[in-house]
């Protein structure tokens, strides 16, 4: 089973990368772009056919390694 | 309207970051993890209420800036 873990900075945490991308898009002529937030996305192959077990494991891996819980939020979804 | 642009390395492109995460997860005791792929995810606020215009703009921004089309694939979705 394949899961995806999206890790984003928490609301209120400054996102300089997002700001830089927003500015670059404006320079390229995309004038209607507001806030831009940048994060990591990870696709992981889990050797199980149990959907809830895969989601639970995704959460555990995010808590232990994939996300910095002080400044980041994460979301886990099954994608395949 | 809020869109998400996910940018992942193309199949076949070496993903050292993914390999390192896979190894670290194994060391942490997650023994049933196969391939790990890492990418970027961006959430962008677009000043439009037209869903298809937002998706089209997301594609255009990905082609022009957000993705390196030589080694990366991207996907655009409306999330809010």
Tens digit of each residue's pLDDT (9 = 90 or more) over A9-20: 999 999 999 999
Total count of residues recorded for chain B:
80
User: The tokens 């995704």 sit on which residue?
Assistant: A58
| Mean per-residue pLDDT of chain B | 96
How far is Cα A53 from Cα A46, in angstroms, rounded to an integer? Answer: 10
Instruction: State phi, psi for B10 to the nearest 5 degrees.
Output: -65, 150
Q: Measured between beta carbons, which residues in chain A are less than 8 angstroms from residue B11?
A: none
Residue extents of the structural domains in chain A: 2-78
Q: Fill in the DSSP letter of residue B12.
A: T
ipTM of the predicted structure? 0.90
Cβ distance B40 to A38 less than 8 Å, yes or no, reads yes
pLDDT at B51: 96
pLDDT in tens, A43-56: 999 999 999 999 99
CB-based contact, B30 to chain A, within 8 Å: yes
Measure Cα distances from A31 to A26, A63, B52 in Å.
5, 37, 17
Residue A26 forms contact with B (CB below 8 Å): no
pLDDT of residue A21: 97
> Quick one: pLDDT at residue A77?
96
> B48 touching A, CB under 8 A?
yes
Q: Taking residues A30-47, what's their average pLDDT?
A: 96
**B24-78 confidence digits (pLDDT tens):** 999 999 989 999 999 999 999 999 999 999 999 999 999 999 999 999 999 999 9
- HEC states along A14-30? CCHHHHHHHHHHHHCCC
pLDDT at B77: 96
CATH architecture of B2-78: 2-Layer Sandwich (3.30)
Distance to chain B for A39, nearest Cα, Å: 5
Measured distance CA(A63)–CA(A71) in Å, rounded: 12
For the four alpha carbons of B26, A49, A80 and A9, in that order, the dihedral sign comes to negative
Q: Does B35 touch chain A (CB under 8 A)?
A: yes
- The runs of H, that is alpha helices, within B4-69 are 16-27, 51-61
């Amino acid at each position: 089973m394949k899961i995806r873990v999206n890790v984003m900075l928490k609301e209120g945490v400054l996102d300089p990368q997002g700001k830089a991308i927003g500015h670059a898009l404006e320079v390229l002529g995309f004038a209607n772009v507001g806030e831009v937030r940048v994060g990591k996305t990870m696709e992981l192959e889990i050797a199980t056919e149990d959907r809830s077990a895969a989601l639970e494991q995704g959460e555990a891996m995010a808590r232990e390694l994939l996300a910095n819980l002080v400044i980041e939020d994460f979301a886990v979804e099954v994608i395949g």
